[in-house]
């Protein structure tokens, strides 16, 4: 009994101190929109996705297109010191020790491919299409990350609401305990009634401690998704605002136009079609233009040519045509056509999969939204029933056990409603994500 009483005093003191700290220290309330904005700036997965998008943009720029010419500079020099003996055709001989010979050269050349069988043209279009694909891929990753963030956010909200419900229940249990204890002191109840009320109070206390532990873990999980070190001090907005879906057919049209996964399959089909055209470039010739400006100078101590110096421009054009390359170009063309056919199959598969996911998501949303409404009615009914039970208990018309049953039923009804509410909201967000509208509503 003494141990149990100490536990009761400890838990009630904890509740009181929690209430005092919340009133004396103002803690900022973090809304879901604010959490999303924070994650967009600090979540590491989202930051990596953005960097990958920057890489794709660099790859699809004009600098990586092959359309710009190549400019090359070269320079060199040679020095020699030799003992030289030269016999001319006339029979004259020249002998010199330490004959020095030096030469210098420098050039600036430009090369430009005028025509490469349209390979460069289609490669540039493929790079642009890859950039769009990466953008869709990044959007899909961001949406999935923010869905995880929303789920974690509402998990914290659910546990916060559950703790508020437990505290309310715990307060009622403590009042019941004191009420029965007073009755026992006046001989109007048994010791068993006191023990039962004390056990119920202890159970509610343990329930509160366990739920607070779960809330602490959920807070840490949310902090990580926010891109922060665990331990931030903030409150969660437990209010839920719905965007009811009244026209699923219209929403599916939005999904066909905006769903990231489906658009990625369409983009992959476009890349495959361009690859087929690019593979035919090997059948055509290439035409290259080159030009240079060069300077050279040579000095010799002996020999026919004592010194020379050249400077000037040169230019040229060359045509190359691989008439037969052993069948490599034909093989690339055939394989690209097969890949393009596979891309068409994947588009159809993606469309069917999107339809399946959308129908399942809408059914899930519709049923969970209905369950939430039912649980809300059940909660209100249990509140009325509990209010009547309180009056009957005060008048001595029902037992303490019946009062406890009504109390537990109300607590469970409130928890079920809160759980149904957050489940319905997550189902709504999942449905909007499939429709490609998630980022517009959070």
The domain spans of the chain are: 2-68+116-148+239-285+324-441, 71-115+286-320
| Best CATH choice for the domain 2-68+116-148+239-285+324-441 from the list 3.30.43.10, 1.20.1600.10, 3.40.228.10, 1.20.1580.10 | 1.20.1600.10
CB 103 within 8 A of CB 298: yes
Q: How do beta strands 29-30 and 235-236 pair?
A: parallel
Q: How far apart are CA 113 and CA 319, in angstroms?
A: 10
pLDDT digits (tens, 9 = 90+) for 374-432: 999 999 999 999 999 999 998 889 998 999 999 999 999 999 999 999 999 999 999 99
pLDDT for residue 346: 97
- Residue pair 186/199 in contact by the 8 Å Cβ criterion: no
Concatenating the DSSP letter of every residue in 248-268 gives HHHHHHHHHHH-HHHHHHHHH
Q: Strand, helix or coil at 29?
A: strand
Task: Compute the distance between CA of residue 354 and CA of residue 361 in angstroms, rounded to an integer.
Answer: 10
The radius of gyration of the chain's CA atoms, rounded to the nearest angstrom, is 40
- Overall size of the chain counted in residues: 442
Q: How far apart are CA 179 and CA 193, in angstroms?
A: 11
**Tokens 């009615």 sit on residue:** 377
Q: Where are the beta strands (DSSP E) in 239-335?
A: 286-300, 307-320
Contact 400, 194 (CB under 8 A): no
CB 315 within 8 A of CB 293: no
Q: Which residues pair with 20 in a beta bridge?
A: none
User: How many angstroms separate the CA atoms of 345 and 64, rounded?
Assistant: 31
Per-residue confidence (pLDDT) for residue 3, from 0 to 100: 43
Residue 241: left if φ>0, alpha if ψ -120 to 50, beta else—which one?
beta
Backbone phi, psi, residue 91, to 5°: 100, -10
What is the SS3 assignment for 27? coil
* Contact by Cβ (8 Å): 200, 170: no
* Contacts with 356 (C-beta within 8 Å, 6 or more apart), sequence order: none
Tell me phi and psi for residue 399, to 5 degrees. Answer: -80, 170
CA-to-CA distance for 218 and 337, rounded, in angstroms? Answer: 51
Residues of the chain with pLDDT under 50: 1-4, 6-7, 9-10, 13, 16-24
- Tokens for 223, please give them: 């902090």
Cβ atoms of residues 279 and 313 within 8 Å:
no
* Euclidean distance between CA atoms 404 and 401, whole angstroms: 5
Which phi and psi (to 5°) does residue 109 adopt?
Answer: -120, 150
Neighbouring CB atoms inside 10 A of 325's CB total 12
Digit-coded pLDDT (tens) for 195-225: 999 999 999 999 999 999 999 999 999 999 9
């Amino acid at each position: 009994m003494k141990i149990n009483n100490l536990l009761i005093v400890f838990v009630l003191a904890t509740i009181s101190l929690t209430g005092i700290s919340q009133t004396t220290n103002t803690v900022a309330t973090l809304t879901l929109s604010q959490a999303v904005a924070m994650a967009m700036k600090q979540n590491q997965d989202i930051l990596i996705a953005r960097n990958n998008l920057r890489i794709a943009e660099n790859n699809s720029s004009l600098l990586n297109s092959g359309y710009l010419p190549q400019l090359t500079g070269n320079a060199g020099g040679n020095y020699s010191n030799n003992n030289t003996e030269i016999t001319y055709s006339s029979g004259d001989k020249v002998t010199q020790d330490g004959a020095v010979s030096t030469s210098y050269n420098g050039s600036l050349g430009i090369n430009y491919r005028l025509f490469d069988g349209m390979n460069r043209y289609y490669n540039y279009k493929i790079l642009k299409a890859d950039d769009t694909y990466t953008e869709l891929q990044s959007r899909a990753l961001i949406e999935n990350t923010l869905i995880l963030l929303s789920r974690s956010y509402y998990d914290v909200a659910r546990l916060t609401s559950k703790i508020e419900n437990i505290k309310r229940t715990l307060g009622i249990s403590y009042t019941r305990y004191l009420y029965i204890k007073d009755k026992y002191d006046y001989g109007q109840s048994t010791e068993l009634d006191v023990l039962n009320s004390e056990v119920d109070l202890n159970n509610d206390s343990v329930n509160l401690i366990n739920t607070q532990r779960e809330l602490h873990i959920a807070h840490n999980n949310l902090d990580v998704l926010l891109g922060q070190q665990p331990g931030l001090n903030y409150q969660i907005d437990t209010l839920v605002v719905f965007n009811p879906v009244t026209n699923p057919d219209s929403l599916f049209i939005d999904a066909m136009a905006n769903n990231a996964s489906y658009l990625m399959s369409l983009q992959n089909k476009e890349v495959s079609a361009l690859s087929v055209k690019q593979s035919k470039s090997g059948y055509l010739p290439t035409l290259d233009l080159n030009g240079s400006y060069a300077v050279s100078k040579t000095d010799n101590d002996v020999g026919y040519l004592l010194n020379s110096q050249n400077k000037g421009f040169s230019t040229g054009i060359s045509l190359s045509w691989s008439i037969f390359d052993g069948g490599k170009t034909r093989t690339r063309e055939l394989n690209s056509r097969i890949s393009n056919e596979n891309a068409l199959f994947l588009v159809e598969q993606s469309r069917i999969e999107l339809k399946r996911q959308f129908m399942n998501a809408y059914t899930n949303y519709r049923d969970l939204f209905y369950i939430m409404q039912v649980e809300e009615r059940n909660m209100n009914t249990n509140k009325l029933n509990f209010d009547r039970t309180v009056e009957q208990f005060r008048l001595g018309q029902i037992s303490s056990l019946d009062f406890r049953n009504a109390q537990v039923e109300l607590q469970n009804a409130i928890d079920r409603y809160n759980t149904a509410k957050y489940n319905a909201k997550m189902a709504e967000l999942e449905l909007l994500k499939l429709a490609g509208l998630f980022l517009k509503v959070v």
